[in-house]
Structure 1
C-alpha cells in the first residue's frame, strides 16, 4: 500500500494527461503497446513503467495536485469472536471511514476487481446528485464483468443474460439487487436510515471538509472501531451495516435497503466500469454457485423473504424479480427428475410422452424447440457464439444437478442442526497449466469431489439408458414401438451429447485434469446399480 501511494504521485497525472484507460497499472501495461511514434508520451510511458520512487512523502502528485487519502486497515480477529467474513470486514471499514472522511458515498469493489473506467465515479454521482430524483437513490449498481473470459466462455462465467437482460428488468421493476461488488452506496443507507421524501443531501458541506484529529488520535480511534469486540450487543449486522448470517450478505443487504424506501439504479456503460477475474476451473465455478444458491434460498425461506420483508414496502413485481435467484436451489429437483426418470423409463420400456403420430406431441415439440431457439438467439444477440451457447446449456445442467442440489441440501442439513453455515472463498489464482487448459477451453476435473461423482454418474446413467433404449426400439421396429419413445430418445441423446466432456475426462484423457480414478469407479458402480434396479 505504501508503494502504491508513492506510485500514485506519478501515475495519476500520467493517466489524466494521456487519457489512460484502464487506470489499473498492471492491466494497462499488460495490454498497451509502447507509443514509439510519440516522443513525449514514450518517454513518460517508460518512466512510469519501471519507476521506483520512495523519497517524496508529501501527499501531492508531481503537478502539485493533492492525492486522495489512502488508508490500509487490518481488522482484529480472535477465535472467540465471529468476524462475519466479508460483511464484517465492510462494516469495520464503514466505521473507520466515518472517522477519516465520512464521505457520503461508499464504493465497494471485490479484491480481484479493478477500475476499468475512470468516469465511473462521476457517472454514479450523476445519479446521486440528480435534481429530481437524487434524494431517493440508495445505491448505484454496475454489472459484474470479467477480463479473462475465453472466446466461447467454457464455464459460462460471463453473466451476459444476468447483466444484460435480468438486471435491466430488475431496474424497471423497482431497482436492481446489490451484487456485492461494483456498487456505489449512499453511506446513510448502510447505516440503517429510512428514506424520507423530504430528505435532501447538502453536497456543499463536503467540499472543504478536513480531518481535524491528529494521525495518532485517528489511529487509536480506528483500532477501537476495527476491534473484534466492538460489535458485541450492538445492531451492527442486524439493522446497521451489511447483514450477517447469510452466505449472500449483499443480496440481503440490498433488499433491506429497498424495503426502507430507497431506490436503486442499474448502470451498464459501454465501457465496463470494473473488471474482475472469472473462475478458471469447473470445480471453482460449481462451488461458487453452490454458495450463491444456498444463501439465496436461505433468504427465501426466512423472515427476510421478499414477500414477507417487502410486503407493502416494495412493488410485487420487484418481489417476484428476486425469485429468479432465490429459487435456484429447489429447481435442482425438477432438473434431476428430467435427467433421471425419462432415461430410466426408456431403458425399462415405459413411455412418458405422446407417440410421434399423436397431435398432442406438437405441444411438447413446440415448447422444446421454441425455448432452445429463444436461448440461442438471446446468446447471439448478446455477443456470444454458437459454441458459447452450447457451453451455456452444459453449465446450466451441471449447476442445477450439483451446485443447486448441494445448496438445497446444505440448507436442509443446517435447519436440522447437522451442519453450520460456512463461507467458502472462491479461489481465483490458477497454476500455469490450469490457465493454459482454460485458455484452450479444455474442461478441468483433476480432483475428487462429490459434485464430480454426481456429474459422472448422471452422464453414465444417460449413456447406458440411451444405448439400452435404442437396442429395445431397434429390436421392435416391425411393431412401430419406436413411435412411443421418440421424445425420450431425443432427450436422452441430448444429455449424452452434452456430457461428452465428462466421458472424455472419464475414459479418454490421460492428463492431470482428467477425472480421478476413484470418481470413475464410484460413478460407474452407481450408474450400473441404478440401471439394474430399474430393469429388475
Structure 2
C-alpha cells in the first residue's frame, strides 16, 4: 500500500509533489527556462522563480529585494481567476480537475506518480474542520461525493488505467476502486432493502425457515458483524449511541444519496447531463432553535433524497402490516415468508426510524407532504408490482 487517501481537509503536500514531479524525476535545464516555467506555472515571474527553486532542489533562498509589496502583487496575480488559463494547472500541476471530488482525484494522481502518503495524528490535532450542520446538507454532500467518485472510476483517470500506465500499486488500486464504488453500491443496497418486503408481500422467502438448521448461518453472520463493529467503537472510546447512529447512517446514505449520485454519474457518462457542483453549507448551529426534545433529530426538506428514504420505509411498513395478518402461518413455517423476512423488514424500519418520526413531525422535523405523496405513490407501485409478479 502507498498510504491513506487524500480526501480534503487536514493535509500537507510537498511542493515538489504538487508541481507534478515523481520521486525519481530529474529536471533538465530546459524545463527551468523562463518560457517553460511560464507555460507550466503561469506568467508570474516571482512564482516561477520560486517553483524553479523547488524543482531544482536548490538550497539557496530566493532573494526578495522588492519587499512585501511586490509579494502581495504577485499573490494577487496568481490568485486571479484567469491566471491558470493556458498553463498546466489542473492537469499536471496542483489540484487535478475533472471531478466533483478533486481531492481524491489529486491523491490518485499523486499515488500514480509513485509517491506515498503518511497518516499522522498529533496531539493536539493539527487541523480542525467543519461539517454540514443539517441532515439535508449532509445528504447533498454525500451525493456530490458519490457522483465525483463514480466520475473518476468511469474516466480515463480511473485507478485501473493508472495502474496499467503509472506507478500505482495493485493493492492501492483496489483501495481506490473500493471507495469509488460508493455509487454502484447503492444498487445492491436497494435490492436487499426491497427483498424482505417483496418476499412478505408475495408470501415467498429467501432465508431458511425457523425449523431448518441453515438458519444459524445468516444469524451468525449478522451477530458477528455487529458485535465486532460495536467492539471497535467501544475500544475507540465511543458510545453505543454513536455506533447505532452510524449503523443507521450506513443504511440510509447508500439508498438515498449514493443512488442519486449513481444516476447523476451515469447520465454524465452517457453525455445526457453535466454534473453540477452543489455547494454544501457548513455553518455552525447554535442550537437556539432546538428544544431538548428535538436535539439530534433529523431535519427534512423536499429534496429527492428524502423521497427514496421515505419510499423504503413505507414499503417495509406495508409489508409488515401484511406479514402480521399472516403471522400464524409464518410461525408454523409454511412455504411462504417466514420469521427471517419479517425480522429483516423490522431491522430496516429501525434503521429508518428517523424517517418514521418525520412522518409525524412538524416544521423542519417533519417530512414535507409532497415527499410523502411521491413516496406513497412509489410504494403503492411496488406493492402492485409484487402482486402482479406473484400472480404471474
Normalised by the shorter chain, which TM-score bucket? Answer: 0.7 to 0.9
- Which residue pairs with 1:181 in the alignment? 9
Contact 2:143 2:257 in 1 (8 A): yes
User: 2:192 & 2:331 partners in 1: Cα distance?
Assistant: 29
Deviation at 1:341, TM superposition (A): 2.2
User: 1:385 & 1:316 partners in 2: Cα distance?
Assistant: 36
User: 1:213 & 1:506 partners in 2: Cα distance?
Assistant: 66
1:248 aligns with one of 83, 95, 101 = 101
Greater fraction helix? 2
Structure 1 residues 275 and 225, CA gap change in structure 2 (3 angstroms): closer
Deviation at 1:288, TM superposition (A): 0.9
Return 5+ residue gaps in structure 2 as ranges.
28-53
What SS does the corresponding residue of 2:118 show, helix, strand or coil?
strand
1:223-275 deviations in Å (ceiling 9; x for gaps):
44333333223221111111011111111111111221222111112432211
1:116-159 deviations in Å (ceiling 9; x for gaps):
xxxxxxxxxxxxxxxxxxxxxxxxxxxxxxxxxxxxxxxxxxxx
Deviation at 1:438, TM superposition (A): 9.6
Structure 1 residues 232 and 320, CA gap change in structure 2 (3 angstroms): same
Structure 1 residues 179 and 434, CA gap change in structure 2 (3 angstroms): farther
User: 1:361 & 1:473 partners in 2: Cα distance?
Assistant: 19
2:278 aligns with one of 402, 421, 424 = 424
- Which residue pairs with 1:134 in the alignment? none
User: 2:240 & 2:75 partners in 1: Cα distance?
Assistant: 53
- Which residue pairs with 1:451 in the alignment? 305
TM-score normalized with structure 2 length: 0.84
Cα root mean square deviation, aligned: 2.6
1:517 aligns with one of 360, 364, 369 = 369
2:296 aligns with one of 421, 439, 442 = 442
2:162 aligns with one of 298, 304, 309 = 309
Contact 2:154 2:269 in 1 (8 A): no
Question: Aligned ranges for residues 277-356 of structure 1 at < 5 Å?
Answer: 277-311=130-164, 313-356=167-210
1:465 aligns with one of 312, 315, 319 = 319
Structure number with greater CO (CA < 8 Å, separation at least 6) is 2
User: 1:361 & 1:477 partners in 2: Cα distance?
Assistant: 15
Do residues 533 (structure 1) and 385 (structure 2) align?
yes
TM-score normalized with structure 1 length: 0.62
What SS does the corresponding residue of 1:278 show, helix, strand or coil?
coil
Q: How many residues align?
A: 360
Return 5+ residue gaps in structure 1 as ranges.
1-172
Contact 1:355 1:483 in 2 (8 A): no
Structure 1 residues 317 and 279, CA gap change in structure 2 (3 angstroms): same
User: 1:413 & 1:438 partners in 2: Cα distance?
Assistant: 43
Question: Aligned ranges for residues 131-146 of structure 1 at < 5 Å?
Answer: none
Greater fraction strand? 1
